[in-house]
Structure 1
Amino acid sequence: MDIATLKKAFGSDMTLVDLTHALTPQIPVWPTHPFFCKEVIESYDRGDLACNHFLGMSEHTGTHFDAPLHFVKGAAGIDAVHLQTFFGRMAKIDARDCTPREAVSVRRIKAFEAAHGEIDAGDAVLFHFGWDRFWHNPADHPRFLSDWPGLSRGACEYLLNRGIRIAGSDCLSLDCFGSTDFPAHKLLLSAGVLIGENFARLGDVPAFSFLITLPLPIAGGSGSPLRAVAAFAANGQSNTAAALA
């Protein structure tokens, strides 16, 4: 897939939206994970020939994918995921009206399909809870790190029956805050469906777009930070299923 093909699908006025949070030492992280760390190794100010930084982080830092290995012993690491998985149509479901800790039901997904069209096999499905509004200001991080909504077991089973390849959201986890059985992680990852977390700016993309994601090929990695971009026609209308067939 190249830019010429994407422009053929979306027109010369193709819009690209970066769905990735920038990595800084201030970003929120899962309570048991290390903070993102960036240290100067070489610096022009110190008279070095080049600029170079040391990075320290979890595989699940910032906008990232969970690989099946994250919850399934012996399953595929992020480096073993087929490259085609990282490119394809994305459905964005607006779920900003969810209450804290609410588990998204099948009814909400069916309502999206009734309004915008069915989710197809091979789609990525991202839920826009609006949680990224708590990401940037450290004063809001306690809100980002608690009470987020997620997916119910029934919603996960419905999406699996649709044959999706990726499920994700703009929250710290795809399972509701306080979940002890982790239905999203256990069901989806067991089926080889990648989970995406901490996405940004989902409110800036239409119901359907083309998702481009590039995680790092960490050998045996349980996940990876990634760069995620949505592509769509500037008028917000996407016909990726037909144009890219």
Structure 2
Amino acid sequence: MAANPAFSALFDRDGATLVDLTHPMRPGMPVWPTHPPFCQEVAESYERGDVALNHALCLSEHSGTHFDAPLHFIRGGRSIDRMPPERFFGRMAVIDARDAAPCEAIGTERIAAFEAGHGPIEAGDAVFFHFGWDRFWDDPAPQDRFLRDWPGLSGAAAALLVQRGARIVGSDCLSIDRFGSTDFPAHNRLLGADILIGENFANLGRLPAFADLVTLPLPIVGGSGAPLRAFAILRPASNPHPRTQA
């Protein structure tokens, strides 16, 4: 297929590349234990004599790579369709936290160390934590490794990112709060500050400390969140030495 001229105009001119941060959606993929599984059933097919192929889907608002909107934990918070579109685009910081212990709630020192080495997190940044947990996504069912013992953020770390003015905070784990949390401090602090939470992201290990993020969530009316397609844009000046995936 010939190259898309519009794509070339946007990216090829400065040597930019795209990294897909989205897990493909398929039956049997990991889901939060109380959420419905992702189901894809044939509604029309050529084999049945239909003129087109069509699937019926059943899924949670929090299926696969997705955003949590403030309404997910905050009564009266904004639903995903009411989030301003400019929140979905902009600079992202990627904090390497692959050495976090299972079930650890990482603290503010992780953020301070990142800023000391790479520069400050600025108001309007998206901040993602690369725990390396996406390597367990495709483990055979019932995905015990992905669905157990993941690390997350402490309430203090979430509060610091609120102070920094982050627009999105996310990770490659099932939840931004650590496995076993019952009070969900990161969810409550971030969503309470009208900050989107990104969960189940993929390929964060292919990104440098800073990149550009493009996300396209579904505008579900009244939705507590939405599945999305997410990409990072890597430009040569910002990507001299991308980290090796765990």
Q: Show the 5 A alignment for 1:152-163.
A: 152-163=154-165
Query: Which of residues 41, 48, 51 is equivalent to 2:50?
Result: 48
Q: Take 1:45 and 1:16, find their aligned partners in 2: how far apart are those partners?
A: 37
**Normalised by the size of structure 2, how large is the TM-score?**
0.91
Higher helix share: 1
1:202 has 2:195 as partner: no
Give the SS at the match of 2:228: strand
**Normalised by the size of structure 1, how large is the TM-score?**
0.92
Q: Show the 5 A alignment for 1:126-137.
A: 126-137=128-139
Contact between 1:87 and 1:212, CA under 8 Å: does it hold in 2? yes
Aligned pair count reads 235
Q: What letter is aligned with 1:94?
A: D
Deviations 1:58-90 (A, max 9, x none): 000000000000000111100000000000100
1:78 has 2:80 as partner: yes
Q: Take 1:236 and 1:204, find their aligned partners in 2: how far apart are those partners?
A: 13
- The residue number in structure 1 matching 2:194 is 192
1:183 has 2:185 as partner: yes
Q: CA deviation at 1:140?
A: 7.3
Give the SS at the match of 1:229: strand
Q: CA deviation at 1:116?
A: 0.8
Q: CA deviation at 1:181?
A: 1.2
Q: Take 2:169 and 2:122, find their aligned partners in 1: how far apart are those partners?
A: 13
Contact between 1:26 and 1:138, CA under 8 Å: does it hold in 2? no
Q: What letter is aligned with 1:87?
A: F
Query: Which of residues 151, 154, 179 is equivalent to 2:153?
Result: 151
Contact between 1:11 and 1:233, CA under 8 Å: does it hold in 2? no
- The residue number in structure 2 matching 1:122 is 124
1:32 has 2:71 as partner: no
Give the SS at the match of 1:141: coil
Name structure 1 gaps, 5 residues minimum: 239-245
Contact between 1:67 and 1:223, CA under 8 Å: does it hold in 2? yes
**Is the alpha carbon distance of 1:5 and 1:109 closer, same or farther for their aligned partners in structure 2, counting shifts above 3 Å?**
farther
**Is the alpha carbon distance of 1:179 and 1:162 closer, same or farther for their aligned partners in structure 2, counting shifts above 3 Å?**
same
Contact between 1:205 and 1:236, CA under 8 Å: does it hold in 2? no
User: How big is the alpha-carbon RMSD for the aligned residues of Structure 1 and Structure 2?
Assistant: 1.7
Query: Which of residues 13, 18, 21 is equivalent to 2:20?
Result: 18
| Identical positions, percent | 63
Contact between 1:134 and 1:140, CA under 8 Å: does it hold in 2? no
Name structure 2 gaps, 5 residues minimum: 1-5, 241-246
